[in-house]
Amino acid sequence: MRIVRESPPGKIRTVVTAEPLAAQALRSLLGGEPGVELGDGGRAPDLIFLDARRADSPGWRLLDSIGGASAPEAVLILERDPRAARACDAHDVDYLLEPLTRKKLRAVIRHARERGGTESAESRARRFKSFLEDLRKAPAYAERLAIRTRGARAVLRVEEIDWIEAAANYVRVHASGEAHILRRTMSALESNLDPRRFARIHRCRIVNVQRIREFRPVPNGRYAAILEDGTSLELSREQSRKLPALLGAR
């Protein structure tokens, strides 16, 4: 039987499954959001927030049961677990880290609205199933990232990445002459990347060290990394002092 959603047009119905304190904080934030209706679990939600900070939490079990024609969108509340974050990135699953803020919440709600009009419930259920399968066998570091290209989702292998730059609360990933926007902070993404392959050469820049052709001195006692395609990326003063270690990583 197909469940018909009862939320008013333009509303997004949410349900929170979390520990009492986290649930209270999240409901308080959600309660002040226009266009968001807090549910009690009695009707099919459009979006569920799942507390997945413990391996035995009900959130993981509930996510494992999502399926069928009424599958809602889900946002995970995670510990700072790079393994889970990498699996989320690979399958375009949104997650929140504490402290929970209105800004973070609005970003995931906006994303859920956008995706709700383009992804079927069946496709969503398959995506979460693949996410859980990958999480259970996730490697130490990310091997691929989910990106958006021309309105569609695609998979980018990390070895294809040339360099990465910060762009407000996003990052811009440069690969094969193209730039892709990823909804992650630099710090979150850096923790998912193998430090033997990627180096943070500046607060705003990460580079694939295998793409570096040479280093050139620039004013103020710094250096610039020259990539194989000719791109010049200036190192911070601190990283310029650590150049011998960076050369050893190549």
For the ranges 51-65, 93-107, 120-134, the lowest mean pLDDT is seen at 51-65
- Residue 168 pLDDT: 78
Neighbours of 75 (CB within 10 A): 24
Same domain, 120 and 22: yes
For the ranges 3-17, 33-47, 59-73, 198-212, the lowest mean pLDDT is seen at 3-17
What are the angstrom distances between the C-alpha of 225 and each of 113, 204, 217, 245? 41, 14, 9, 14
Domain membership of residue 152 (yes or no) is: no
For the chain, give the percent of residues with pLDDT over 70.
84
Same domain, 179 and 70: no
- Round the average pLDDT of the chain to a whole number and report it: 81
Same domain, 185 and 101: no
Condensed to tens digits (0 to 9), the pLDDT of residues 42-71 reads 567 889 898 877 666 676 777 777 666 667
Q: Assess whether pLDDT exceeds 70 at residue 249.
A: no
Condensed to tens digits (0 to 9), the pLDDT of residues 169-191 reads 789 999 988 899 888 888 888 88
pLDDT band for position 26 (cuts 50, 70, 90): confident
Domain membership of residue 223 (yes or no) is: yes
Answer with the residue of higher pLDDT: 121 or 65. Answer: 121
Condensed to tens digits (0 to 9), the pLDDT of residues 7-20 reads 444 688 888 888 78
Domain membership of residue 147 (yes or no) is: no
- Residue 6 pLDDT: 42
Same domain, 129 and 178: no
Domain membership of residue 148 (yes or no) is: no
Instruction: For residues 115 and 244, give the distance between their C-alpha atoms in angstroms, rounded to a whole number.
Output: 46
- DSSP H/E element including 233: strand 232-234
- What mean pLDDT comes out for the span 86-104? 85
Could you tell me the residue range of the domain that residue 69 belongs to? 12-136
- Residue 247 pLDDT: 63
Count of the separate structural domains present in the chain: 2
Same domain, 82 and 31: yes
For the ranges 67-81, 119-133, 167-181, the lowest mean pLDDT is seen at 67-81
CATH number at residue 163: 2.40.50.1020
Q: Assess whether pLDDT exceeds 70 at residue 233.
A: yes
Same domain, 110 and 186: no
CATH number at residue 117: 3.40.50.2300
Residue 95 corresponds to which tokens in the numbers above?
């997650």
Answer with the residue of higher pLDDT: 86 or 150. Answer: 86
Q: Assess whether pLDDT exceeds 60 at residue 250.
A: no
Domain membership of residue 143 (yes or no) is: no
Same domain, 71 and 163: no
- What mean pLDDT comes out for the span 203-210? 93
Residue 250, classified by CB atoms within 10 Å of its CB into exposed (0-12), middle (13-18) or buried (19+), is exposed
Same domain, 190 and 240: yes
Same domain, 179 and 225: yes
